[in-house]
Structure 1
């Protein structure tokens, strides 16, 4: 088992900073997700842990031992890539077995280990096939089995589901979740998909431009985003963010007036989630014409324009109206978040 410590880890290429001063302890058996947009430094962080990139500064420790100078093969980590990286000339059985041969594991144990790993990802009926004869989801499961068979201290998964279609992503995500519970191995998972982060992680690290924005459980990050960037990145739809100003405890923006807020007077960004507001007959704090409506099955998403922002609210699935019809939206001040207009940092607790 493995605890991983990243102590002020940085990666620079000349003047470009890929990862800046990353400081975190990942607990033994924890499932940690690195989340952020393309180019935020999440994959670079993972590659430094794996030994595929050299850290420019800081220390990487696995079970208390500094591994900065160790080759990837000596770090006892198994990596699952977005591209599967399977050997096309080998069948599924030999692809899964390959890490055992490379590491010179007792050949007498190979068959048992391969079949155990293949059973975990439901590949028993495909062991004779070549990768070209498999679907994308099956190939990804071969890559997972090849990582499992090594019985590593750490799993590193780099966007493993991004090449799969939506339905396969859901089923494979469930499989990864179940595997992480069954194997109880420290796992670091990289994704730009916030749904994957929310459903898989024990803790999420949200990154932007190489800098950690917030670390916390999915619930903490969803309910109390540290800044406007995190608020806009987590949630489907993302949190509504409206620029305006507070005067005497009331937030004002075009077509918006929300009283009862505890904040100093001045410019702010107000945030609230679609499910934390209601469409009402009248008397709401937001009054504007409908910009668009989307039927989601279990709800109707109603959107209005407030200044330059599109504000979305979940209405009952039976709600019906036309574009440009006036609508009144009620937002409870207890569900409102305030962010600094300049820095984006959260205001208040």
Structure 2
């Protein structure tokens, strides 16, 4: 079992706060993703768990044992970095085997362990090659195998796919997802890519400027963002956000008039997903504006209009065609709308769920 408890951990350098009072229990075998933009504290959090950064305040416990003062080698965690960190003079076999040699594992078991790890990442035909002879995706798989061979209690992965091209990211992401199911090991994965977070995670922690914004399953965070930051960070495209005013159940903004909403009067930000809205058949919708841009996606056509300073997108049929500047109407039913306080950005109405204990990976 490898349950991890982060008990109000903080990291400061002088007056700069890298992570602020991070509280979370990560369940045994859970696949947790730390998601956020550069500088949000996600990698610092992972490095504190690994023991590569000291904790300023709070405690980290693995299997109930506080590990703040333990060296990284004594925490039984394996880390996969953004850079592959392979030894160029060793072939793939020796790179994978290296952790076993360092830890003094019985040499009679090395062959079986290395071969097993290599099979899991489909590298058995490349064991004799040097890293320079491998593609970027193959090198990242060597790094994964080197972590797997240790059979740790916890996997820590710091943006492992960011150096790969788009096609390799998709295939390697699928491989990591399958590995998490096979290995059933507690995994913490850092990324700024919300697609990676949505496809891999049991739970996602969205961070901004060292603070946790929301914790939940990918579906919860997508369907019920806690604030405008989460709404604008999750989704491709991000949630449409329009500043306007509520009065007697109606939201009004330039070119926008949506009724049937139930929040107090005053300035608000209204949000909705592109795939939830539709083009109005008669051209007269809740939003009426000329087409700003039109993008063919293959399975759909993305239409974007400009509402004051906001760009607002809606998905149309893949066969929809029109010229830029053509007026269109967009239907936005009240049930698809999300409302946020315009000043704080916090969600209005129901509080989004926070998943306390997830299902297991896979």
Please indicate the TM-score interval, normalised by the length of the shorter structure: over 0.9
Partner of 2:123: 123
* Structure 1 counterpart SS, 2:117: helix
Question: C-alpha separation between the residues in 2 aligned to 1:226 and 1:160?
Answer: 28
Q: Deviations over 1:161-185 (max 9, x none)?
A: 0000000000000000000000000
By how many angstroms is 1:284 displaced? 0.8
Work out the CA distance in 2 between the residues paired with 1:287 and 1:308.
15
The match for 1:323 is: 324
Partner of 1:277: 277
2:284 and 2:328 in contact (8 A); partners too:
no
CA distance in 1, matches of 2:347, 2:188: 27
Q: Structure 1, unaligned stretches of length 5 or more? A: none
In structure 1, distance between residues paired with 2:93 and 2:283:
65
Structure 1 distance, partners of 2:211, 2:272, is: 25
2:272–2:337 contact (8 Å) kept in structure 1: yes
Residue 22 of structure 2 corresponds to: 22
Q: How many residues align?
A: 349
Offset, 1:283: 2.9
Matched residue, 1:313: 314
Aligned counterparts, 1:158-237, within 5 A: 158-237=158-237
DSSP 3-state at the match of 2:275: helix
Matches of 2:263 and 2:308, distance apart in 1: 22
Structure 2 counterparts to residues 83-98 of structure 1, below 5 A: 83-98=83-98
**Residue 45 (structure 1) shift:** 0.1
SS at match of 1:276: coil
Using the size of structure 1 for normalisation, the TM-score is: 1.00
Q: Which residue of 1 aligns with 2:358?
A: none
Compute the displacement of 1:345 (Å).
0.2
Structure 2: which 5+ residue stretches go unaligned? 351-362
**In the TM superposition, what whole-angstrom CA distance separates every residue of 1:161-215 from its partner, at most 9, and x where no partner exists?**
0000000000000000000000000000000000000000000000000000000
| Secondary structure in structure 2 of the residue aligned to 1:145 | helix
- What's the offset of the Cα at 1:157? 0.1
C-alpha RMSD of matched pairs (Å): 0.4
**What residue number does 2:288 align with?**
287
Contact 2:283 2:327 in 1 (8 A): no
* Structure 1 runs of 4+ with >2 Å offset: none
Distance 1:77 1:245 in 2: 51
- Alignment match, 2:238: 238
Give the CA deviation at 1:282. Answer: 2.5
TM-score (norm 2): 0.96
Q: Secondary structure at the match of 1:151?
A: coil
